[in-house]
Amino acid sequence: MQDRFIKCIAELPKPLSDALVPMLNAEFAGHIDAQQLSTLITKSGLAESELLIALLPVAAALARPPISEFYVGAIAKGKSGDIYMGANMELSGEALFHSVHAEQSAISHAWLSGERQIEDVIVNFSPCGHCRQFMNELVEGQKVKIHLPEQQTQPLSHYLPYAFGPTDLNITEPLLTKQQHELSLDSSDPMIIEALDHASLSYAPYTNSYAAVVLETKDGATYCGRYAENAAFNPSMLPMQMALSTMARHNREFSEISRAALIESAGGKISLVGATMDALHAVAAVELEHIVLDPE
């Protein structure tokens, strides 16, 4: 079991901890599939809603909050039945806009894993306005059920009434809808090819600035992030922040980064290169490989 889970496991009911510990191996990064979830329900004796709340300390153990020292965990349950954990992340000494909120982390985890719809979000503290707006970008976002400890489950519409979202800007395919943008590049570099694939799946309906980041560690592992825009603009999630959040979930240190690449479309209204370089240089002494593609 990973060291970061030792404290939270000790606080769980024993039937749940006994069933969960074998899952928390070196490869665990917060994903529990529907079959594993069913096993945990059976062995713990808890109802699903009780189990998901009980698992929040495990999600919070994924957090890296060196500024606030406030650990927030979130779980996104997909229509597939799988659950995806996420946690807040901050960059030490850097501007707060680099931060990733737990709900963003969990939802991006689901998106990167191929999930097409989020039905439930479980979080250990009430979602802030930023996260409510981010969740409102999702497929049927107003219907997403929000679960909080010791509170009645409510749809997002309860927490974000009179919402402004994608439909107000005539967007009919919201976040998590299958995206496929035509981007091409002649390269045999596996890392660049991976970045290209993720850029083509990114969500940028307001600027058409399709983009992705891939980070490679010294052992050859790669961690990616895609751009996820928001109708309210500021809650957009940058691909670099998503890639760093992915690394954190996998228990990797940012100092292990040996390569970093940003691919973005020249046809967009903005460029993410400045914000991407700022975040990268805050965590690793690596130069950013920046590739700008002409749209098809």
Q: Would you call 103 a catalytic residue per the annotation?
A: yes
Sign (positive/negative) of CA torsion 191, 63, 150, 159?
negative
Return binding residues. 88-90, 101, 128, 131
Residue 93 backbone class (left: φ over 0; alpha: ψ -120 to 50; beta: rest): left
Among 48, 50, 94, 103, which one carries the catalytic annotation?
103
* Sequential DSSP letters for 101-140: -HHHHHHHHHHHTT---EEEEEESSPPPHHHHHHHTTBTT
**Cβ-based burial of 69 (10 A; exposed 0-12, middle 13-18, buried ≥19):** exposed
Which residues, other chains included, contact 7 with Cβ-Cβ below 8 Å and sequence gap of 6+? 61
Is residue 279 within 8 A of residue 296, CB to CB? The reply is no
Measure the CA–CA gap between 275 and 238, rounded to whole angstroms: 8
Return binding residues for substrate. 88-90
Return binding residues for Zn(2+). 101, 128, 131
- Structure token digits, residue 214: 């891939």
Measure the CA–CA gap between 202 and 198, rounded to whole angstroms: 6
Point out the residues that are catalytic.
103
